[in-house]
Structure 1
């Protein structure tokens, strides 16, 4: 048994999150959506290599996903409503402050990070190039992430999760470790956990008992936190998507963009303006009026980013998640940004780990290029900025875990990770010279992914 297998077995014994039987049904896709789904699943098998059709199929996937497709929401399971709609749901307690600025992970956090780190190295990194080309994460990889408990990391133990206390710090470490393998696959794997965490943080008893059992059971649904919108100068505090009150609930109208795993998602948490104030709504994918379109992107291609159109989507009172004064939506935006900062740190570390041995081995004019001051200083700057990104992100996560106001720290982390993360990606490409521009090396993919940090809202959350 490998170290990864042993660690995964240990995590299963401790967390007992269960496995997953397969992906959600796709019977209600239109022909184009079904074709994309079928080609992606076919591309994940070794049959194409045996019959010599790998290149032709991948070319077909690329052409179709570039042109786009449109599909109705994935066929969803029946979520049975139970519990009280007015009673507050179960919440995880804040972590105990230790009185010092100590960033040392706890034993439980370190064990979890060790499992995810090895998983990222042995499973995620080797699958990244194929997933980027296919614009989809391999089903086997997503199933493996369920085995180590990623979707229920933020769910309290009393609700079937693994959280004894607020898990913002553990979540940040997991996001960083997984992104060291590949950011696109990390987003695809962590997207369902964002919805489960949102329900754990703000859901009523009825919402938690209706939806969370699906995440803690044997077949975890694909799900997505949809906050981003395709508008110029988009402000997450002022979503253009509108929720209108009705006698039975609400009607949602608008468009959300950069939604991970949209075609497969069975559940969405959508940001919308209610009476002029931003709020969150839980929307099942089979609700009439939902249309999902492909959104081919520069980076994060393995996350299958999509556009979610809401045309007169009627939802009940149970859909409203959290408070209606705007505070819940604002907190979701902040916690999402913190998660993106962690992803930036993990990918930035991948860049540093890759370019450091490269510049020591690559020779020009009879000596390693690392002997050139301009090269050595660039590598040193990556390490310096990366450490600053990590420290401010950890500090923000620590304050969140302790139940303290972290608005300032998250804003600082967001600004630093967006600007310096993008620069790290650019410098990584520059240090490889011509090799940085070709797909033979992964740095060009990391650069494309890091460009998303300052643009994306939602998708992931700690």
Structure 2
């Protein structure tokens, strides 16, 4: 049955790709109905599989050259238009966010967990294949930072916490695809393209006040042919289910990333629930004399600043998606809610506040899209990523605050989702990686 489902998913992806590159659905005005049929079909026939123990092992085919995704060619103009494939992905994921994620958001937040059925449905979308290079079993042939940013934006439209949980493993695969050695890719990354990809998480943030990701307290000491890791990591997404961690630690004054399997001696987890993104079930990761092979350190070519920047852009994309959800919720509310015999949107103070939300949201979106476009083209993007993070961290909180304010007393209750969105948006100022484009 598992093999059959894998074959069906492969056929489905092939059909979707063929439709995306064809003109006949547009000529016959059948693209929307066909996409809906394919989307509904992808949701059937799946079954929830229990977590099984996993042995990460090399296939013995590793070469001395790691597999890298090439940068896309610059278009030469500032072009915000989407390709047919990107638009189709957006249409499908927006539908998934509205029909599947949004209805599950309230209970997922309350229970601090994503329903197993929703996780299984999300896997059927095949998001992991955009992170794994074609040579290692995925479908990525070039850097697709912008496409993945769009995916996160659409998932964030449904719920930030659920989206973060769904993308945690994809983020680890992205990191290994971008910087892992050939041996690391063969041993670990190839597993992410299997029918049952592993759950995985990035561990960067620490509980230090005013945490600076460039000044890590978690240490990695080289002892012979091994590293000993000691420290503590906070806000680790889906930590309890992760089979693999990528941990940021200070290696003799240099920030570095290390691959740590969940069953390694000295590694433990404790509750680390947060104010927002509760559905992501954040945990605190403890490392006490955790011994790993020196080969589990990402190569010296690893760019730590780019790693942080791509993490920031991932969170910004989620915030843009959540901001769009806020705007789409507020407009009909202020038009339908009446006070003193007329809709409250007739009051300039209300109308101007909603207009400001739309303006600020569009500024956030443009900043994030621009930074991701530069990253995808292999150009310097640190400045743009930094500016996008500063803007999104500030405006995300304003969007959440204004949403609560516009609903008045209703905004302070769980009867409406704006209080959850307010809490989720707060994470932008404190999350350093955890997600990665």
Q: What is aligned with 1:119?
A: 96
Match among 375, 378, 383 for residue 353 of structure 2? 378
SS in 2 for 1:225: strand
Does the CA-based 8 Å contact 1:252-1:310 persist in structure 2?
Answer: yes
Q: What is aligned with 1:272?
A: 249
- State the shift of 1:214 in Å: 2.0
Q: What is aligned with 1:354?
A: 329
> Counterparts of 1:52-451 in structure 2 under 5 Å?
76-83=53-60, 87-323=64-300, 328-451=303-426
Cα pair distance change 1:409/1:250, threshold 3 Å: same
Structure 1 Cα separation of the partners of residues 101 and 57 of structure 2: 34
**CA-to-partner distance for each residue in 1:20-78, whole Å, 9 max, x for gaps?**
752425xxxxxxxxxxxxxxxxxxxxxxxxxxxxxxxxxxxxxxxxxxxxxxxxxx411
Structure 1 Cα separation of the partners of residues 327 and 139 of structure 2: 32
- State the shift of 1:323 in Å: 2.0
- Gaps in structure 1 of 5+ consecutive residues: 13-17, 26-75
- State the shift of 1:6 in Å: 1.2
**CA-to-partner distance for each residue in 1:205-231, whole Å, 9 max, x for gaps?**
111111123211111211101111111
Q: What is aligned with 1:7?
A: 39
| TM-score normalised by length of structure 1 | 0.84
- Gaps in structure 2 of 5+ consecutive residues: 1-32
Structure 2 Cα separation of the partners of residues 152 and 458 of structure 1: 21
Q: What is aligned with 1:40?
A: none
Does the CA-based 8 Å contact 1:299-1:451 persist in structure 2?
Answer: yes
Count, aligned residues: 405
**CA-to-partner distance for each residue in 1:60-105, whole Å, 9 max, x for gaps?**
xxxxxxxxxxxxxxxx411113458882310111111111110111
SS in 2 for 1:321: coil
Cα pair distance change 1:234/1:267, threshold 3 Å: same
**CA-to-partner distance for each residue in 1:292-345, whole Å, 9 max, x for gaps?**
111121100000000000000000122111327xx5222211110010010010
Structure 2 Cα separation of the partners of residues 128 and 140 of structure 1: 13
Does the CA-based 8 Å contact 1:24-1:222 persist in structure 2?
Answer: no
Aligned-CA RMSD value = 2.0
| TM-score normalised by length of structure 2 | 0.89
